[in-house]
């Protein structure tokens, strides 16, 4: 039985007979997909998360600082998506770790605080100065109850920050590392927010871990309320957009005379009194923008409205004094 050639084989034979090379067989290129890349924060998402929690850090600085009546500062250092296993592997073996229930999602979040800060907080909450070196031991049950006061403030401010989702952070209890390993699967993805905490001379880290099922909902909320004209500062048209927005900003303008007066003259001011100013009658007045002189101008009128006719730009600074 003769072999029946396909049209592709016939074309190859014709090209070969003519001395041409056969058409190469196209092969699709494939690359291995790394599932660990799924859920990573993009640049815009990272900017949104960072902006939101920079505000959280400032609010927490004031709240706990006022509660302790001491110098207390929190600043955000990182925001990233990690698996739960990566989060647990990244925290010290001996640390303060507590869980919270996130409602209405019925999910579990965690907060980790370095013991150098935890012991200083406990000392100050008990009336101390918080300046003693941290002991080389774990926190006792009584100290856990004392530390819970500060952790409750953290969750309260975090709840205010996430109010767009109407979530509630309910403190549960302190967890040992072994107990925390049973809370969820190691492959569960978490949004991990890193902060640096400074309390007097003590410096340490704090990490808040929230399941991505909640953080993704927060990002969608942020994106929904973001203005349509939002543009990243590093985009090409950002300067033009910024200029366009600034041109619509209102500025206060004042037209006046820069002069000085003695206190005795001010004491005798009354309605109808004429005060002679050291200003020539033919000299223009000064146009001020937010108390800064920008132009000289004459008083004018447009219909029934007072106006200022610009004479020249102000080159030398003029000190404005209210008479």
Q: Which element (helix H / strand E) includes 115?
A: helix 115-125
Q: For 250-305, what is the HEC assignment?
A: CCCEEEECCCCCCHHHHHCCCCCCCCCCCCCCCCCEEEEECCEEEEEEEEEEECCE
- Determine the 3-state secondary structure of 69 from DSSP: coil
- Determine the 3-state secondary structure of 120 from DSSP: helix
pTM, two decimals, is 0.59
The predicted pLDDT at position 145 comes to 92
What is the residue-level pLDDT of the chain in tens, covering all 323 positions?
455 556 566 666 656 655 555 555 445 555 554 544 445 556 677 778 888 899 999 999 999 999 998 889 999 999 888 999 999 999 988 899 999 999 888 889 999 999 999 999 999 999 888 888 888 888 999 999 999 999 999 999 999 998 888 889 999 999 998 899 999 999 999 999 999 999 988 899 999 999 988 888 888 877 665 554 455 566 677 788 778 878 878 878 888 876 777 787 778 888 888 877 777 878 888 888 877 888 888 888 888 888 888 998 887 555 555 54
Which residues, in sequence order, are bridge partners of residue 24? Answer: none
The predicted pLDDT at position 210 comes to 92
DSSP 155-186: HHHHHHHTGGGT-EEEEEEE--HHHHTTSS-T
**What tokens were used for 205?**
């880290």
Edge-to-edge strands of the sheet including 253-256? 253-256, 285-289, 292-302, 305-313
Question: What residues contact 318, with CB distance under 8 A and at least 6 apart?
Answer: 258, 286, 293
Map tokens 């058409």 to a residue: 23
Nearest CA to 320 out of 269, 266, 257 is that of: 257
Please state the φ and ψ torsions of residue 273, each to the nearest 5 degrees: -75, 140
The predicted pLDDT at position 165 comes to 82
């Amino acid at each position: 039985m003769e072999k029946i050639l396909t049209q592709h084989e016939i074309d190859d034979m014709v090209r070969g007979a003519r001395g041409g090379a056969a058409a190469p067989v196209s092969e699709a290129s494939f690359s291995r997909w790394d599932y660990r890349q799924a859920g990573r924060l993009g640049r815009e998402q990272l900017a949104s998360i960072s902006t939101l929690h920079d505000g959280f850090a400032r609010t927490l600085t004031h709240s706990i600082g006022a509660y302790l009546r001491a110098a207390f500062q929190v600043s955000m250092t990182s925001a990233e998506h990690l698996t739960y296993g990566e989060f647990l592997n990244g925290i010290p073996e001996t640390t303060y770790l507590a869980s919270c229930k996130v409602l209405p999602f019925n999910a579990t979040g965690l907060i980790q605080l370095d013991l150098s800060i935890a012991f200083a907080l406990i000392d100050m909450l008990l009336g101390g100065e918080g300046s003693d070196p941290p002991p080389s031991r774990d926190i006792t049950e009584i100290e856990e109850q004392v530390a819970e006061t500060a952790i409750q403030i953290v969750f309260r401010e975090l709840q205010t920050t996430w109010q767009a989702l109407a979530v509630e952070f309910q403190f549960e209890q302190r967890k040992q590392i072994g107990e925390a390993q049973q809370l969820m699967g190691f492959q569960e993805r978490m949004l991990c927010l890193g902060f640096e905490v400074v309390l007097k001379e003590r410096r340490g880290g704090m990490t808040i871990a929230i399941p991505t099922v909640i953080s993704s909902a927060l990002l969608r909320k942020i994106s929904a309320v973001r203005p349509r004209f939002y543009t990243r500062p590093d985009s090409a048209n950002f300067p033009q957009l910024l200029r366009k927005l600034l041109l619509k900003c209102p500025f206060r303008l004042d037209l006046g005379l820069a002069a000085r007066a003695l206190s005795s003259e001010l004491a005798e001011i009354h309605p109808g009194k004429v005060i002679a100013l050291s200003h020539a009658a033919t000299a223009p007045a000064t146009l001020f923008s937010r108390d800064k002189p920008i132009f000289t101008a004459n008083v004018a009128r447009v219909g029934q409205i007072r106006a200022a006719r610009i004479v020249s730009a102000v080159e030398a600074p003029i000190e404005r004094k209210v008479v």
